[in-house]
Every structure is written in structure tokens, then in C-alpha cells.
Amino acid sequence: MWIKNLTVFLGVEPFPWSAAELEERLEQHRCPPCGRQSLSSEGFVPPLKGEDRMVVVADGFLY
């Protein structure tokens, strides 16, 4: 799979949300499946294939 459009945000302030809070916020904006005549769709998808979690915590980082 190739990424066609990726936006990376870098912040200078400490991140204010816990993993659970971020999971809840991302879940509200999950990318809907494309329909037969949809040209595009927008939203967030889980970072790991086959997983339903929107946030993965590893070594103190949120992915």
C-alpha cells in the first residue's frame, strides 16, 4: 500500500491528551469506507493493519 496523502503535525507544547482521550477523539472522525461512486474519503484509520485500536502506545509514544 502506498500513501497518497499524509499530513504530519509537529508540536512544540506538551501533548495534552492521554491515550484513552486521543482514542475517543479519533474514533469520532474515523474514515468511512469509500462507496462505489466516491472519489475520496477523509478521516483517520488505525495505524496497524488488522487492529481496531486507533492509538498504539509504545515506549512512551502514541502512534
Task: Tell me if 25 is assigned to some domain.
Answer: yes
Task: Tell me if 52 is assigned to some domain.
Answer: yes
Closest CA relative to residue 42, chosen from 9, 6, 1, 14: 6
pTM of the model: 0.69
- Provide the number of structural domains found in the chain: 1
Task: Tell me if 48 is assigned to some domain.
Answer: yes
> CB-side exposure of 2: number of CA atoms within 13 Å?
1
Per-residue pLDDT of 15-63, as tens digits, reads 899 999 999 999 999 999 888 898 888 899 888 889 899 999 988 888 8
Identify the domain containing residue 59 by its residue range: 16-30+43-63
Task: Tell me if 57 is assigned to some domain.
Answer: yes
Residue with grid cell 512512551, as numbered in its chain: 60
Per-residue pLDDT of 34-47, as tens digits, reads 888 988 888 998 88
- The per-residue DSSP string of 2-61 comes to --S-------SSPP---HHHHHHHHHTTBPPPP-TT-S----B--SSTT---S--EETTE
